[in-house]
A and B are shown apart, each in its own frame.
Chain A
Amino acid sequence: MGERIAFAIAAAGALGCAAGVVTLSNPFRAAVSLIGTLLSVAVLFLLAAAPFAAAIQVIVYAGAIVVLFLFVIAYLGERPPRIGPDPMGRWAFLMATGVGVLVALGLIGLLRSHLPGMRAAFAEAGDIGSPRAIGMAFVDTHSLVFEATSLVLLIAALGAVLLARRAVLGERGR
């Protein structure tokens, strides 16, 4: 029972804060709202026997990534509100409909699903989320994926450096 209460609170927090991210016009507030979502999702991870993923979620996601966001928002400062009407105005209704249709489809798919044990409570979890299990999985079965992620990060770092450098050059050129 305690698990369900914890899940309900975390789920409500995640979805509520997500709604804040989408609706708040101030980027700073939206970013803070995202932290709420990320922390709530970390709780969901914990409840699903994934303590390592939850820790990474808090440290890397909520810690590093969102801080980077806040940093950029602070650097860019307050932007004047956009002038002029939304050029996508006439599409907005269509877009909302599209998303609605997608959600409805997802719900239909979910409710009609015959996946065995989908509606039953989880069985007793084995050792699937400990750092040891994750580490073994990475170096054992998924070593190639592990190497690929390192490559992705390297490329991202290079890209960031390049972008920053070009921006600096562009400024100097003026």
Chain B
Amino acid sequence: MTPALAWITLLAPLAGMLLLVASGGREPSRGFTRLVGVGSVAVSFACALALFLQMLGKDDHERALVSTAWRWADLEGLRIDLSLLVDPLSMMMMLVITGVGSLIVLYSTEYMGHDRDYRRFFAEMDFFIFAMLLLVMAANFVFLIVGWAFVGLASYLLIGYYYEKPAAVAAAKKAFVINVLGDVGLVLAAVMIAREVGALDFATVFASAPDALGAGSTVAEFVAVMLFVGAAAKSAQVPLHTWLPDAMEGPTPVSALIHAATMVTAGVYLIVRCNVLYQLAPHASEMVAIAGAITLFMAATIATVQEDIKRVLAWSTVSQIGYMIMAAGLGLYTGAMFHFLTHAFFKALMFLVAGIVIHALAGEQGIDRMGGLRRYLPVSWVLMGVGCLAIAGVPPFSGFFSKDEILARAWDAGDLGKVLSIVGLAGAVLTAFYMFRMFFRVFHGPEPEGGYDHEPHNPTIIMTLPVVILGVLAVVGGWIQIPTVNHGINTWLDPSLLADPGIEASHATEWRTIAMSLAAAVVGIGVAWMIFGAGGGRRRIEMADRFPALRRFLLDQWRFDPMIDDAVVAPGRDLGDTAVARFEPRGALGIASLGSGLATGAGRLVRASQNGMVRVSAFGVVLGVAIVAVAMILGR
């Protein structure tokens, strides 16, 4: 494998961003922006693909490449290099980031076509791709954290892209604050690792962690929990999930790339990458799995009442990442990564179709104002259908295989696994229900009252092509690992998983789970059809009226925002108010006014001598001379 290719993969988007930023104070031509914005990501993808082909030609144990640019710091034996790690795990992430990234950036050239800040959008997108690549390609915790913080910044910038909208600015701030919380957890974990292991590069840490930390030790648990704080903030897991639905204030391509396909799965990547550490910390792993299960169920319930097409997808994303996190917590690392892969395809697909719908309706996002769009946007109808079938877990679409893999293997991963597998199954019913609720309400059913102001228009080929490609991937993406047929993901990831517990589902479990997932999907879709599809959606009113309290609870998103407000924000504000009222005047200002008081007093004394009277000044001279004279006489 050629190290130069890895560096070009990483730096091409950065170069693209710098070129866009540096291209003069005037807005450059759209053609130039398009060329640089898309071209840099495409170059990156081409290099990643070349690396992938090279990697395929190697044996398993030769598939890791570490390329060091220079020694970045050498602190008392703690060596930190600016180096890249390309192994099957990061390769998988790189391919998804650059591949899906290229498609989405291409799509954006059309979607953002009317925006006046065209250049800023592409510069920030390129920056995000660079940051995300740095995150997954870093060969040590330091640059992982750098990439981690950079994607947080990119996410902040892109959520707040429409900076004239107060809601967008607030959402950006919220995302940033919560992400920084995660950064802190990650830094704490890294500090602990540096202290206990004496190294920060992945190879050394994972090789010596079992001896240095010890299985089940408090330190190992602490490190794992702190890593999960970082992962939970980035991947929107309970209780740090509240920023992701708000992040939908950003442009739709941003939601597709950052808040669905790539960045939010960084937490999954982190846990899978640190599989050695999690295998040393059984309790932390259980905590991760439970948090994932709670998240997937909660988000799925909330998604059933959302009225904004993008928010449905956002809660669905939270829920699907919950599956991945749950799998990673149970030690099903390949299952988590498999689901990451298929989810990247079908969720990006659905976001982009949602973008087409929004584009066609001139910015309308409420599914109340949609309906019957099948007639206007047939291609989108098909593609959205593919996405929904994939996420609902209908064979042979991709989501079926990855979700089934998680649920089946979870069943055979101990008692906790059984419980969580059932939760996952319940989530699957809800998933099928809420996705098809959205699907039927948008594409079927009656048109909204008064019809559409303008006839919804189909997009051009530039916008359609990436979506079609993603649609194909959403269908076939799961075929690389079919139960009892092949194990593409497992064999591929094997060299990167140093501590894979190797939980395998028995044949009986496998077939039972397949049957139950299918049943779940059919039940979910069937209920959705009965309420929203058949009969023009009359029954949905009845349902909403029947459970007002539950509906209210779900609309409040399980009251997490007020809870966090009460638990964290309000005490913090009270503390601040108290400090302002009590501490600041006496403590902080007191110290400050001591200094200023001294200066004022001294100044007042000196001022008395500066009364502007010539004779007083002259007398001052006399006094001075007298003092000097005394000194001279005494000093002799």
Q: A residues touching B (Cβ–Cβ < 8 Å)? A: 87-88, 91, 94-95, 98-99, 101-102, 105-106, 108-109, 112
B629 part of interface (Cβ distance < 8 Å): yes
Contact call B622/A98, Cβ cutoff below 8 A: yes
Interfacial chain B residues near A99, Cβ < 8 Å? 622
Known: A87-B613, A98-B619, A101-B626. 12 other contacts (CB 8 A): A88-B615, A91-B615, A95-B615, A95-B622, A98-B622, A98-B626, A102-B622, A105-B626, A105-B629, A105-B630, A106-B629, A109-B632
Closest to A88 in B: B615
Give min CB distance, A21 to chain B, whole Å: 16
In the assembly, what is the distance between CA of A6 and CA of B632, in Å? 34
In the assembly, what is the distance between CA of A91 and CA of B622, in Å? 13
Contact call A88/B629, Cβ cutoff below 8 A: no
Mark out the residues of chain B between 592 and 636 whose CB falls within 8 Å of any chain A CB in the assembled complex: 613, 615-616, 619, 622-623, 625-626, 629-630, 632-633
In the assembly, what is the distance between CA of A158 and CA of B389, in Å? 99
Closest to B622 in A: A98
Contact call A108/B633, Cβ cutoff below 8 A: yes
A109: which of B613, B619, B629 is its contact (CB, 8 Å)?
A: B629
15 CB contacts below 8 A, A to B, read A88-B616, A91-B615, A91-B616, A91-B619, A94-B619, A95-B622, A98-B619, A98-B622, A102-B629, A105-B626, A105-B629, A105-B630, A106-B629, A108-B633, A112-B633
Contact call A102/B625, Cβ cutoff below 8 A: yes
Q: B residues touching A (Cβ–Cβ < 8 Å)? A: 613, 615-616, 619, 622-623, 625-626, 629-630, 632-633
Give min CB distance, A39 to chain B, whole Å: 27
In the assembly, what is the distance between CA of A120 and CA of B625, in Å? 29
Contact call B613/A88, Cβ cutoff below 8 A: yes
In the assembly, what is the distance between CA of A163 and CA of B630, in Å? 41
Give min CB distance, A26 to chain B, whole Å: 20
Chain A binding surface SS class: helix
Given A91-B616, A91-B619, A95-B619, A102:B626 Cβ within 8 A: yes
* Nearest 8 A/B pairs, CB to CB: A105-B629, A98-B622, A102-B626, A101-B626, A95-B619, A109-B633, A88-B615, A98-B623
Closest to A95 in B: B619
Give min CB distance, B621 to chain A, whole Å: 10
In the assembly, what is the distance between CA of A121 and CA of B221, in Å? 103
Closest to A105 in B: B629
Interfacial chain B residues near A98, Cβ < 8 Å? 619, 622-623, 626
Interfacial chain A residues near B625, Cβ < 8 Å? 102
In the assembly, what is the distance between CA of A112 and CA of B619, in Å? 26
Interfacial chain A residues near B630, Cβ < 8 Å? 105
In the assembly, what is the distance between CA of A98 and CA of B627, in Å? 11
In the assembly, what is the distance between CA of A105 and CA of B616, in Å? 21
In the assembly, what is the distance between CA of A102 and CA of B625, in Å? 8
Give min CB distance, B612 to chain A, whole Å: 11
Give min CB distance, A128 to chain B, whole Å: 29
Give min CB distance, B634 to chain A, whole Å: 11
In the assembly, what is the distance between CA of A95 and CA of B619, in Å? 7
In the assembly, what is the distance between CA of A109 and CA of B625, in Å? 13
In the assembly, what is the distance between CA of A94 and CA of B615, in Å? 12
Closest to B619 in A: A95
Interfacial chain A residues near B616, Cβ < 8 Å? 88, 91
Interfacial chain B residues near A108, Cβ < 8 Å? 633
In the assembly, what is the distance between CA of A106 and CA of B625, in Å? 11
Give min CB distance, B618 to chain A, whole Å: 9
Interfacial chain A residues near B632, Cβ < 8 Å? 109
Give min CB distance, A102 to chain B, whole Å: 5
Interfacial chain B residues near A95, Cβ < 8 Å? 615, 619, 622
Interfacial chain B residues near A109, Cβ < 8 Å? 629, 632-633
In the assembly, what is the distance between CA of A109 and CA of B636, in Å? 10
In the assembly, what is the distance between CA of A105 and CA of B629, in Å? 7
Interfacial chain A residues near B622, Cβ < 8 Å? 95, 98-99, 102
In the assembly, what is the distance between CA of A108 and CA of B622, in Å? 17
Interfacial chain A residues near B626, Cβ < 8 Å? 98, 101-102, 105
B633: which of A87, A88, A94, A105 is its contact (CB, 8 Å)?
A: A105
Interfacial chain A residues near B619, Cβ < 8 Å? 91, 94-95, 98
In the assembly, what is the distance between CA of A68 and CA of B619, in Å? 28
In the assembly, what is the distance between CA of A129 and CA of B623, in Å? 36
Give min CB distance, B146 to chain A, whole Å: 66
In the assembly, what is the distance between CA of A106 and CA of B622, in Å? 12
In the assembly, what is the distance between CA of A109 and CA of B626, in Å? 12
Interfacial chain B residues near A112, Cβ < 8 Å? 633
Closest to B632 in A: A109
In the assembly, what is the distance between CA of A98 and CA of B632, in Å? 17
Closest to A108 in B: B633
Closest to B620 in A: A98
In the assembly, what is the distance between CA of A105 and CA of B633, in Å? 8
Interfacial chain A residues near B613, Cβ < 8 Å? 87-88
Give min CB distance, A99 to chain B, whole Å: 7
In the assembly, what is the distance between CA of A14 and CA of B632, in Å? 29
In the assembly, what is the distance between CA of A108 and CA of B629, in Å? 10
Interfacial chain B residues near A102, Cβ < 8 Å? 622, 625-626, 629
Interfacial chain A residues near B615, Cβ < 8 Å? 88, 91, 95
In the assembly, what is the distance between CA of A101 and CA of B615, in Å? 17
In the assembly, what is the distance between CA of A95 and CA of B118, in Å? 80
In the assembly, what is the distance between CA of A106 and CA of B630, in Å? 10
In the assembly, what is the distance between CA of A99 and CA of B626, in Å? 9
Closest to A106 in B: B629
Give min CB distance, B616 to chain A, whole Å: 7
In the assembly, what is the distance between CA of A112 and CA of B629, in Å? 13
In the assembly, what is the distance between CA of A95 and CA of B623, in Å? 9
Closest to A114 in B: B636
In the assembly, what is the distance between CA of A69 and CA of B619, in Å? 25
Interfacial chain A residues near B629, Cβ < 8 Å? 102, 105-106, 109
Give min CB distance, A82 to chain B, whole Å: 14
Interfacial chain B residues near A94, Cβ < 8 Å? 619
Give min CB distance, A77 to chain B, whole Å: 23
In the assembly, what is the distance between CA of A24 and CA of B297, in Å? 108
In the assembly, what is the distance between CA of A102 and CA of B618, in Å? 14
Closest to A102 in B: B626
Give min CB distance, B625 to chain A, whole Å: 7
Closest to A112 in B: B633
In the assembly, what is the distance between CA of A145 and CA of B616, in Å? 32
Give min CB distance, A67 to chain B, whole Å: 25
Closest to A87 in B: B613
Interfacial chain B residues near A87, Cβ < 8 Å? 613
Closest to A86 in B: B615
**Residue from B613, B626, B632 having most chain A Cβ neighbours under 10 A:** B626
In the assembly, what is the distance between CA of A106 and CA of B628, in Å? 12
Give min CB distance, A89 to chain B, whole Å: 12
In the assembly, what is the distance between CA of A102 and CA of B616, in Å? 16
In the assembly, what is the distance between CA of A87 and CA of B615, in Å? 11
Give min CB distance, B232 to chain A, whole Å: 77
In the assembly, what is the distance between CA of A108 and CA of B623, in Å? 17
In the assembly, what is the distance between CA of A108 and CA of B630, in Å? 10
Give min CB distance, A97 to chain B, whole Å: 10
Closest to B636 in A: A112
Interfacial chain B residues near A101, Cβ < 8 Å? 626
In the assembly, what is the distance between CA of A31 and CA of B540, in Å? 115
In the assembly, what is the distance between CA of A50 and CA of B501, in Å? 114
In the assembly, what is the distance between CA of A87 and CA of B626, in Å? 24
Give min CB distance, B500 to chain A, whole Å: 93
